[in-house]
């Protein structure tokens, strides 16, 4: 019985370190994980930049709608339709104001870098004057 214990303890002492293959596999797995994190951070950075442009576009459109709503209805698109365009903070917008039955229909189309299709915002202003 004593002999059996000494053989086992000798085997355990010989197996204390890591082999070269185990270290190479660990480094490979660590490298794959780090590359995955780097790719994720690049994609997240692109998404953040696109979100910033969308936020700017929404702010520009809201400002345009507020400025058009402050104009009296009889002066806004009195001849049927009124158009305009502007570029603000890298966002290009084109708007159309159409005359309706006691309302003004506004369509604002915005384009910005990084987006292939335009974003279109529609709104209605009721005429109260």
In a domain, 85, yes or no: yes
Instruction: Evaluate whether residue 114 is within a structural domain.
Output: yes
Work out the widest C-alpha separation in the chain, in whole angstroms: 108
10 falls within a domain: no
| Contact partners, residue 107, CB within 8 Å, separation at least 6 | 95, 96, 98, 120, 121, 122
Is residue 105 situated within a structural domain?
A: yes
Q: Is residue 8 part of a domain?
A: no
Ordered alpha helix ranges (H), the chain: 2-14, 20-69
Read off the DSSP letter of residue 112.
E
Contact yes or no for 81/99 (Cβ under 8 A): yes
First-residue to last-residue Cα distance in the chain: 106
Give this prediction's pTM. Answer: 0.65
Number of domains into which the chain is organized: 1
Residue 12 lies in a domain: no
In a domain? residue 107? yes
116, part of any domain: yes
Residues 6+ apart with CB under 8 A from 35: none
- Residue by residue, pLDDT tens for the chain (129 residues) are 555 556 566 555 556 778 889 899 999 999 999 999 999 999 898 888 888 888 989 999 999 999 988 888 888 877 778 889 999 888 899 999 998 888 899 999 999 888 889 999 999 988 876
Task: Residue 26: give its domain's CATH number.
Answer: 3.30.1300
d(CA 86, CA 27): 54
- Residue 91 lies in domain: 19-126
Cβ contact 106:95 at 8 Å:
yes
Angle made by CA atoms 29, 34, 39, in degrees to the nearest 5 = 125
Query: Pick from 121, 117, 120, 115: which is nearest to 46 by CA?
Result: 115
């Amino acid at each position: 019985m004593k002999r059996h214990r000494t053989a086992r303890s000798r085997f355990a002492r010989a197996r204390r370190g890591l082999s070269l293959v185990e270290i190479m596999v660990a480094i490979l797995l660590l490298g794959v994980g780090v590359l995955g994190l780097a790719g994720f951070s690049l994609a997240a950075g692109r998404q953040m930049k696109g979100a910033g442009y969308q936020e700017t576009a929404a702010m520009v459109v809201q400002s345009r709608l507020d400025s058009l709503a402050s104009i009296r209805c009889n002066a806004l698109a009195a001849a049927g339709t009124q158009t305009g365009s502007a570029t603000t903070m890298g966002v290009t917008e084109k708007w159309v104001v159409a005359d309706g039955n006691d309302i003004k229909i506004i369509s604002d189309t915005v384009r910005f870098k990084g987006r292939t299709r335009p974003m279109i915002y529609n709104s209605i202003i009721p005429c109260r004057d």
